[in-house]
Structure 1
Amino acid sequence: MTRDPGADNRKPDLRKMRGDRAEAEAAAYLERLGYRIRERNWRCRTGELDIVATDGDVTVIVEVRSRRENGRFGTAVEAVTPRKCMQVRATAQVYLRFAGLEGVRTRFDVVAVTYDWADEITEVRHLSGAF
């Protein structure tokens, strides 16, 4: 096994760290609303579901997006593209089958987390039934 000489000098992946923090904040926000978190970062060959929760008798698939304020890539909500919606729906079908939840009421929500340029969270926006 060869050792990567630059491994000790790598900078942390700030984008991933912000994404992980946004998912944790989204889960905490949903729990405060009374949702029960069933899964976080559930993966299969078709993709990943950020959060699977229940809201009463409804299974809720939550896509979490984060962006910086006034960033050049648009808002967190704008990051949920039609292609992403299709991918999340396909992955949700696999999850529901795997979990024995086929036929249950299901909803797709988005939680958009906005950071300022000092990496402080300035907004958590929840779109219920987003797609």
Structure 2
Amino acid sequence: MQATSDRTRQHRGRCNHLAGEAAEHSVAMAYDRRGCATAARRWRGQSGEIDLIVRDGDTIVFVEVKKSRSFAQAAARVTRRQADRICRAAMEYVAGEPTGQLTRMRFDVGLVDSVGAVRIVPNAFGGW
């Protein structure tokens, strides 16, 4: 019985991982259509991982991607704790940029619903 439960859990974990990768790809393509260049996917620093980093002109955009049944459910999954972690990781990333901490930055959230539609929420952390 335990082996079946482990296989089910592994299968569910693999499906979730692949769905997350597909959502990140869809959001990256949405930015690409807007003329933004992908700088990094799943960038990892000491403070944590950033799902997607794109360049929008002279601005670096750090994107958290969330997928759920609806845009509202996906948006509700972004927590303050995550936002803080992403901001710390972004500071690590821009340390390698020519203008360092003076680099223009924005924090967006890319939402993906159950049918694969994408909605970008620009400057999503601006109100926090």
Whether TM-score is above 0.5 comes out as yes
Runs of 4+ in 1 over 2 A off after TM superposition: 9-12, 98-101
Superposed CA deviations along residues 50-104 of structure 1, whole A, max 9, x for unmatched, are: 111111111111111111249xxx6111111111100000010111113444111
Report if the CA contact (8 A) 2:48-2:89 is conserved: yes
- Structure 1 residue 19, shift from structure 2 partner: 0.5
RMSD of aligned C-alpha atoms? 2.0
- 2:53 maps to a residue whose letter is V
Cα offset for 1:48? 0.5
Structure (1/2) with the larger helix percentage: 2
List gaps (5 residues or longer) in structure 2. Answer: none
Q: Percent identity?
A: 31
Counterpart contact for 2:70–2:112, Cα < 8 Å: no
TM norm structure 2: 0.82
> What is the aligned partner in structure 1 of residue 49 from structure 2?
48
Q: CA deviation at 1:11?
A: 2.5
1:36 matched residue in structure 2? 37
| Structure 2 CA distance for partners of 1:80 and 1:101, relative to 1, 3 Å | farther
Listed as ranges, the gaps of 5+ residues in structure 1 are none
| Partner Cα distance (2:49, 2:70) in 1 | 25
Aligned length: 117
